[in-house]
Amino acid sequence: MSETTITVCNTCRRVAAGAPETEAPWPGERMAEALAAVDLPEGVRLREASCFSACSRGCVVALSGGTDHWTYVLGNLDPAADAARVVTAAVAYGKSADGVVPWNEAPAILRTRTITRVPPQE
Ligand code: FES
């Protein structure tokens, strides 16, 4: 299993692509807190970043695994329901050779919430 990074947008203002919220704590902050509360398996790390320019699809996270791996961007996430599912997706991602998780092995959240998949740099 390769090292997998979950990067969470901590400035998203929408939950599951609903209307933007107008008061902090922002959904992105709540998503970051929910992910930080999950006991991450070995080989999975969490980091935060601000705005992936997918604001209308918030909450948003990315799964990455190095320059030879595809990167997935997932959206329409709910901090209250999806943190553990994102970690499950990260584990499946980490088991893949190049970041592409076969469809029949992909957790539902990867099949239903992927906004885009970006090719490796190398
Ligand atoms: S604020 Fe989260 S993608 Fe823009």
pLDDT at 81 over 90: yes
pLDDT at 90 over 70: yes
Q: How far is the CA of 57 from the centre of ligand 1 (A)?
A: 8
Q: What average pLDDT score do residues 17-39 get?
A: 96
Q: Binning pLDDT at 50, 70 and 90, where does residue 2 land?
A: confident
Q: Is residue 52 lining ligand 1, measured as CB closer than 6 Å?
A: yes
pLDDT at 14 over 90: yes
Q: How far is the CA of 10 from the centre of ligand 1 (A)?
A: 8
Rounded CA separation 81/64 (Å):
22
Q: How far is the CA of 9 from the centre of ligand 1 (A)?
A: 6
Q: Binning pLDDT at 50, 70 and 90, where does residue 79 land?
A: very high
Q: Binning pLDDT at 50, 70 and 90, where does residue 1 land?
A: low
CATH number at residue 59: 3.40.30.10
pLDDT at 119 over 70: yes
Rounded to the nearest 5 degrees, what angle is found at the Cα of 100, between the Cα atoms of 117 and 78?
55
Q: Phi then psi for 47, rounded to 5 degrees?
A: -145, 165
Q: Which domain holds residue 68?
A: 4-118
Q: How many domains does the chain have?
A: 1
Rounded CA separation 97/35 (Å):
24
Q: Binning pLDDT at 50, 70 and 90, where does residue 122 land?
A: confident
Report percent pLDDT > 90 for the chain.
95
Return mean pLDDT, the chain: 96
Q: How far is the CA of 75 from the centre of ligand 1 (A)?
A: 10
* CA 59 to ligand 1: nearest atom: 2
Q: Is residue 9 lining ligand 1, measured as CB closer than 6 Å?
A: yes
What string of DSSP letters covers 24-92?
SSPHHHHHHHHHHHS-PPTTEEEEEES--S-GGG-S-EEEE--TTS-EEEE-S--HHHHHHHHHHHHHH
Query: pTM for this structure?
Result: 0.96
